[in-house]
Chains A and B, each alone.
Chain A
Amino acid sequence: MNFIGIMEDEKKLAAFEAKIASGQKIEPKDWMPEAYRKQLIRMMSQHAHSEIVGMLPEGNWITRAPNLRRKAILLAKVQDEAGHGLYLYSATETLGIDRTELLDQLHTGKAKYSSIFNYPTLTWADIGAIGWLVDGAAIMNQTALARGSYGPYSRAMVRICKEESFHNRQGYEIMMHLAQGTPEQKAMAQDALNRWWWPSIMMLGPSDDQSPNSDQLMRWKVKMESNDAIRQRFIDRTVPQADFIGLSIPDKDLKFNEQTGHYEHGPINWEEFFEVIKGNGPCNAKRLKARNDADKKGRWVRDAAMAYAEKKKAKAA
């Protein structure tokens, strides 16, 4: 690029940053720095992948839901997650990458998805724990992202957040019923909380000292808040909910600090988190295989539908 080209780009960058600082959204056809586009594609596609991989652990219980009401609710919830995946893939495509490529990245293991979905759902109570904790943690993150600068992502987040509160409540309701049930049912709820608590607070990402928030991403409103700040808010809101139904958070160091008004938690096992991210969690291989199988088995349906549509069009012409 020549000197004039560089000057031009600097002018565009200044205008771009001023626009964001003034609270305006960036739209797909607007000029944007390459780093902004790249970072958004990475974040948004990871988010999309998380929505659809997240259907797997919950889908595992649809046929075994304890009654028809629970089954209908779980079906609707898992369908919502598919919808979230679709909104997010389509928002990501506005950045100039197509869904085939995004899915390829997922299926070849090149792209990541949320660490949380690599844990197994062993009992029905896990479905309660996921809605309450996992969707609860996701809401904390997503309400922050809804204020982000990229129009299509921010709008998708607004829509998703509206739907998430049903997910969160139905999960808490499952836990509440179990906690008020027989001693065995209560033990099952506690066991699910024990297994999902730490992964849920880890899914909000590495602590701030391990993941320094680039000023640039904050200034560009790609990232809105630090991981630790979001985690703190999640813990502060969730602990009293556990207390209310008589379940205990599996953290012996957890205590409320009267002075700060926040809960303080014990050390997080980041080694486990990074292992799961690297692909060594309990279900990574299983999740990836399920996605790849679904893609391969669905291939003929996609091809046939397209061939049929083309034939119909040719006939009409």
Chain B
Amino acid sequence: MTDTQWPVWEVFVQANPGIPHKHVGNVHAADAEMAIQNARDVYTRRSEGISIWVVPANSISASSPEDQGSFFEPSNDKPYRHPTFYKIPEGVKYL
């Protein structure tokens, strides 16, 4: 049997209540429980978080950087999705 450094888990930490979990890095661990404990020791030694998510690294699928342009293109030609697209007369309030 080859030496094991355990599978990799990506770590997401929520810094404060009411804000999203943010990716902070990863840890190696045998299972989810150990991954959460290791993540606490590695990424929250100075009260950086109140909640931790761990996800097996090989379960994450990502968009590919080469296709970045064409992949996100569809949103570029829809300026009417932004409020600044619309001209509202000076005197109109709360709009």
Verify A99–B42 contact, CB threshold 8 A: no
| A239 at the binding interface (Cβ < 8 Å) | no
22 sample A-B contacts, Cβ–Cβ < 8 Å, listed by A number: A31-B65, A79-B41, A80-B45, A87-B25, A87-B42, A90-B25, A90-B26, A90-B27, A91-B25, A93-B8, A98-B5, A99-B5, A99-B28, A100-B2, A156-B25, A163-B46, A302-B6, A303-B1, A305-B34, A308-B31, A309-B34, A313-B31
- Identify the A interface with B (CB < 8 A): 27, 29-31, 76, 79-80, 83, 86-87, 90-91, 93, 98-100, 103, 156, 163, 299, 302-303, 305-306, 308-309, 312-313
Known: A29-B64, A30-B65. A86 touches B27 (CB 8 A): yes
With A86-B42, A312-B31 known, 19 other A-B pairs at CB within 8 A are: A27-B65, A29-B64, A31-B65, A80-B45, A83-B42, A87-B25, A87-B42, A90-B27, A100-B4, A100-B5, A103-B5, A156-B25, A302-B3, A305-B31, A306-B6, A306-B30, A308-B31, A309-B34, A313-B31
Question: What 1/0 mask marks residues of chain B from 33 to 51 whose CB sits below 8 Å from any chain A CB?
Answer: 0100000011001100000
Assembled-state Cα–Cα distance A312/B8 (Å): 18
A305 nearest in chain B by CB position: B30
Assembled-state Cα–Cα distance A305/B4 (Å): 10
Q: Which residues of A contact B30 (CB under 8 A)?
A: 302, 305-306, 308-309
Main secondary structure of the interface of B (DSSP, over half): loop
Q: Which residues of A contact B4 (CB under 8 A)?
A: 100, 302-303, 306
Most A CB contacts (10 A, CB to CB) among B1, B4, B41 go to B4
Task: Give how many A-B residue pairs fall within 8 Å (CB-CB).
Answer: 57
Task: Report B1-17 residues with CB < 8 Å from chain A CB.
Answer: 1-6, 8
Assembled-state Cα–Cα distance A302/B7 (Å): 11
A28 nearest in chain B by CB position: B65
Assembled-state Cα–Cα distance A90/B56 (Å): 14
Assembled-state Cα–Cα distance A98/B31 (Å): 18
- Identify the B interface with A (CB < 8 A): 1-6, 8, 25-28, 30-31, 34, 41-42, 45-46, 62, 64-66
**Chain A proximity of B68: nearest CB distance (Å):** 9
**Chain B proximity of A248: nearest CB distance (Å):** 35
**Chain B proximity of A273: nearest CB distance (Å):** 32
**Chain A proximity of B59: nearest CB distance (Å):** 14
Assembled-state Cα–Cα distance A79/B43 (Å): 12
Assembled-state Cα–Cα distance A31/B66 (Å): 8
Q: Which residues of B contact A303 (CB under 8 A)?
A: 1, 4
Known: A30-B65, A305-B30, A305-B34. A83 touches B5 (CB 8 A): no
**Chain A proximity of B30: nearest CB distance (Å):** 4
Assembled-state Cα–Cα distance A76/B41 (Å): 11
Q: Which residues of B contact A103 (CB under 8 A)?
A: 5
Assembled-state Cα–Cα distance A87/B11 (Å): 12
**Chain A proximity of B3: nearest CB distance (Å):** 6
Assembled-state Cα–Cα distance A192/B3 (Å): 40
**Chain B proximity of A92: nearest CB distance (Å):** 12
Assembled-state Cα–Cα distance A207/B79 (Å): 55
A76 nearest in chain B by CB position: B45
Assembled-state Cα–Cα distance A80/B64 (Å): 34
Return the 10 tightest CB-CB contacts between A and B, nearest first.
A309-B31, A305-B30, A309-B30, A99-B5, A90-B26, A306-B30, A30-B65, A100-B5, A29-B65, A86-B42
Verify A100–B6 contact, CB threshold 8 A: no
B26 nearest in chain A by CB position: A90
Q: Which residues of A contact B25 (CB under 8 A)?
A: 87, 90-91, 156
Which residue of B1, B3, B6 contacts A305 across the interface (Cβ within 8 Å)? Answer: B6
B48 nearest in chain A by CB position: A159
Verify B31–A83 contact, CB threshold 8 A: no
Q: Which residues of B contact A86 (CB under 8 A)?
A: 27, 42
Assembled-state Cα–Cα distance A44/B5 (Å): 18
